[in-house]
Amino acid sequence: MRNLSLKQLHAVAAIARLGTMTRAAQELNVTPAALTARIKGLEDEIGLLLFDRTHAGLKPTDAGRELLWAIDSIGTVLETCTERLRTLRGGSGGRVSVGVVSTAKYFAPRIVGGFVHAHPGVEIDLVVGNRGATVEALRDYRVDLALMGRPPRDFPITAERFGPHPLVVIAPPGHRFAGRDGLTREELAEEPFLVREYGSGTRTVFEEFMAGLLIRRARIGIDSGSNETIKQTVMAGLGIALISGHTVAAEVAEGRLVLLDVAGLPIRRDWYAVRRADKVLSPAGQAFWDFLVGEGAAWLPALPGSTR
């Protein structure tokens, strides 16, 4: 049935409904001879008769009924496709793939929740990774857009700020600097520091902030490439860390971590919505972009005792 055409399917459906070649030919605006030839060609290809000739007119055979079932199924699929296309055009449905740097995973689901509440027909795929992986996903068109703190500069992108990104120094509640005001960088440099991996945005900010000072590294053999690892290690009293304020808001509110009062902190950076400059977003993707840029800041966690 490789050569089956929609014209042949329409012909079978019309004949089954109207019962005669003549009436079906009139409805399809073809001659009875042309319609008979169309059905004969289909029967020859299938190797089965599609209609029995009875005193009450043409009636579908078992093969004809199988073909009618297929016609109904195709009609349902096409109707569903039409509805989905209409939804996609209106931006109320579809799927959007969003890259999220690991530091942003602490609030990205809240933003997605706010968006999906207003756009229940849209599906969001969150792809969480470190900055390098997120940039590569963006470069290779594997995500439609991304949330990150430092947009790439080695390929054309479009980026818009959507909210503040404070970086703070955390310590365990019993730390000797807890509750002290106006700590200096020099005093911090005396403490063992836990730092993120090379290439991360937080690591870059740390190196800029502590430039010119000899830093003590925490004497512990762990992989510090994860915010969770760093938080747990600081809570264990094994060092202090410069970290995104949005990753520690819950622990600070619960008293499991404290923010140190350091001159020049918090460091204010920004969160960005980023996409390739040549990426044309679908209506659903554009709706998410507009929501993120316009309302994303409202979903960022606030640190205790501070504004966003």
Of residues 108, 105, 97, the one with CA closest to residue 144:
97
Residues ≥6 apart with Cβ < 8 Å to 107: 246, 299, 300, 301
- For residues 40 and 51, what is the distance between their CA atoms, to the nearest angstrom? 10
- Asked whether 246 and 165 are in contact (CB, 8 A), the reply is yes
pLDDT reported for residue 195: 78
Of residues 271, 299, 232, 245, the one with CA closest to residue 100:
271
Q: Tens-of-pLDDT digits for all 308 residues of the chain?
A: 566 777 888 899 999 999 999 999 999 999 999 999 989 988 888 888 999 989 888 999 999 998 898 888 887 787 767 656 766 666 566 889 999 998 899 999 999 999 999 999 899 999 999 889 999 999 999 999 999 999 999 999 999 999 999 999 999 999 999 999 999 888 888 888 887 776 677 777 888 887 877 665 554 444 456 788 889 999 999 888 888 899 999 999 999 999 999 988 888 899 999 999 999 898 899 999 999 999 999 999 887 655 44
Angle (deg, nearest 10), helices 21-28 and 6-18: 130
Q: What is the Cα 102 distance to its own chain's centre?
A: 14
Helical spans, DSSP H, in 30-170: 32-46, 62-90, 108-118, 131-139
pLDDT reported for residue 221: 41
| Residue 105, token pair as written in the block | 């995973």
- Asked whether 12 and 68 are in contact (CB, 8 A), the reply is yes
pLDDT reported for residue 272: 97
Buried b (16+ CB within 10 A) or exposed e, 175-208: bebeeeeebebeebeebebbbbeeebbbbbbbee
- Asked whether 276 and 156 are in contact (CB, 8 A), the reply is yes
pLDDT reported for residue 224: 54
- For residues 263 and 185, what is the distance between their CA atoms, to the nearest angstrom? 7
pLDDT reported for residue 215: 65
Helical spans, DSSP H, in 162-282: 185-188, 201-209, 227-235, 245-253
Domains and CATH numbers, the chain: 1-91 (1.10.10.10), 92-163+269-299 (3.40.190.10), 164-268 (3.40.190.10)
